[in-house]
Amino acid sequence: MSVQRLGYLGFEVSDVQAWRSFMTQKLGVMEASGDEASARFRIDSRAWRLQVDKGTSDDISFAGFEVDSAQSLAAIRKRLEAHGVEVTTETADAAAKRGVLGLLSCSDPVGSRVEIYYGATELFEEPFNSPTGVHGFLTDDQGLGHYVLAVPDIDAALSFYVDALGFHLSDIIDWQISETMGTTLHFLHCNGRHHTLALASIPSPKKVHHFMLETTSMDDVGFAYDRFVEDETVVLSLGRHTNDHMFSFYGGTPSGFAVEYGWGARSVEPGWSVVRYDKISYWGHKPTKKPGD
Ligand SMILES: Cc1cccc(O)c1O
Ligand SMILES: [Fe+2]
């Protein structure tokens, strides 16, 4: 039994208001609830997929992975405990706050909160409606998207996410980030999405490097790209990745980590075999020059 898909992500942010306008006006996601302390956002029929809470870290605060039933939740709990992970069964009240039927929590090797749940809330009666006209985000069995964590100890991280949580390695990229810095990126899948999580063993002030949302129309990437160009917040230009073939760009968020906004990735199919790459992209994904660079 392994986790099936990424259900939700939570971030602790110093400026909730800035995130509320960033999410709705730049990314085109739909605000589900919001005040000066916290906000939740929708990208599909689910009641919420992204949450921001007021705080000082400007970093990821939790990731919620989905399984399909109470039986699967019990099975994943057993698997985690068999791998020496301390698991908390959250109260019915805590589960209700997440809008799920059953909720476990634990910590990954760097202390990131990892939640596993079943029974999320669907709101078909309130269709997703993007404030910027995004046609839609690709989710369903592939979950909300992906995120990349900077980890100090790649072996400990792989042991937790692969051996304990049940991810599978898709491929690795030996990424020469600059003349002096390189790292090996490990890409992990738990469903058809090429990667739901990638691990980068790089020193970083933040745990999260970026999170990614995939649109169902190429034009949605272009429209968003124009909005990031407009306020000079493009971090990496348009490009196409070597491994998942995603067409995407990276933009800055109000918390200093990036968001990747993409379209057209290929899926992991049966018979997939692990390979390696020397580049992150066929073309593009170039750092944008800052005025005065
Ligand atoms: C750095 C990087 C490389 C390949 C695919 C990705 O989604 C990514 O963020
Ligand atoms: Fe990415």
Tens digits of per-residue pLDDT, 113-146?
A: 999 999 999 999 999 999 999 999 999 999 999 9
Residue range(s) defining the domain that contains residue 225: 145-287
Q: Are the beta carbons of 276 and 174 closer than 8 angstroms?
A: yes
pLDDT higher than 70, residue 290: no
Which amino acid belongs to residue 270?
P
The verdict on 256 and 204 lying in the same domain is: yes
The verdict on 282 and 171 lying in the same domain is: yes
Tens digits of per-residue pLDDT, 103-116?
A: 999 999 989 999 99
β-partners of residue 241 are 281
- pLDDT recorded at residue 147: 98
CA distances to 73, 78, 115, 159, 235 from 89, in Å: 10, 12, 10, 22, 39
**Alpha carbon of 70 to ligand 1 centroid (Å):** 33
Instruction: Kindly report the backbone phi and psi dihedral angles of residue 159, in degrees, each rounded to the nearest multiple of 5, phi listed first.
Output: -65, -40
Question: How far is Cα 251 from Cα 234, in angstroms, rounded to an integer?
Answer: 4
Q: How much is the mean pLDDT over the chain?
A: 96
The verdict on 279 and 150 lying in the same domain is: yes
Q: For residue 198, is it within any domain?
A: yes
Name the closest-CA residue to atom 6, ligand 1: 241
Q: For residue 134, is it within any domain?
A: no
Q: Is 265 in the pocket of ligand 1 (CB under 6 A)?
A: no
Nearest-atom index, ligand 1, CA of 242: 4
The SS3 assignment for 223 reads helix
Which of 244, 250, 279, 283 has most ligand 1 atoms within 8 Å of CB, for mutation?
Answer: 244
User: Which pLDDT band holds residue 267 (cuts at 50, 70, 90)?
Assistant: very high
The verdict on 211 and 170 lying in the same domain is: yes
Tens digits of per-residue pLDDT, 37-81?
A: 999 999 999 999 999 999 999 999 999 999 999 999 999 999 999
Per-residue tokens: 19: 């995130």
The verdict on 82 and 180 lying in the same domain is: no
CA distances to 1, 104, 163 from 80, in Å: 10, 11, 9
The verdict on 91 and 173 lying in the same domain is: no
Question: How far is Cα 240 from Cα 283, in angstroms, rounded to an integer?
Answer: 6
pLDDT higher than 60, residue 293: no
Question: How far is Cα 29 from Cα 51, in angstroms, rounded to an integer?
Answer: 12
User: Which pLDDT band holds residue 292 (cuts at 50, 70, 90)?
Assistant: low
The verdict on 201 and 103 lying in the same domain is: no
- Which residues in 209-238 are b (16+ Cβ under 10 Å) and which e? bbbbbbbeeeebbebbbebbeeeebbbbbb
Question: How far is Cα 245 from Cα 265, in angstroms, rounded to an integer?
Answer: 5
- pLDDT recorded at residue 206: 96
Question: What is the model's pTM?
Answer: 0.97
The verdict on 181 and 271 lying in the same domain is: yes
Which amino acid belongs to residue 101?
L
The verdict on 95 and 39 lying in the same domain is: yes
β-partners of residue 38 are 53
Question: How far is Cα 233 from Cα 84, in angstroms, rounded to an integer?
Answer: 42
Q: Is 280 in the pocket of ligand 1 (CB under 6 A)?
A: yes
Tens digits of per-residue pLDDT, 168-224?
A: 999 999 999 888 889 999 999 999 999 999 999 988 999 999 999 999 999 999 999
- pLDDT recorded at residue 212: 98
Which of 146, 178, 187 has most ligand 1 atoms within 8 Å of CB, for mutation?
Answer: 187
The fraction of the chain above a pLDDT of 90, given in percent, is 94
CATH number at residue 151: 3.10.180.10
Which amino acid belongs to residue 78?
K
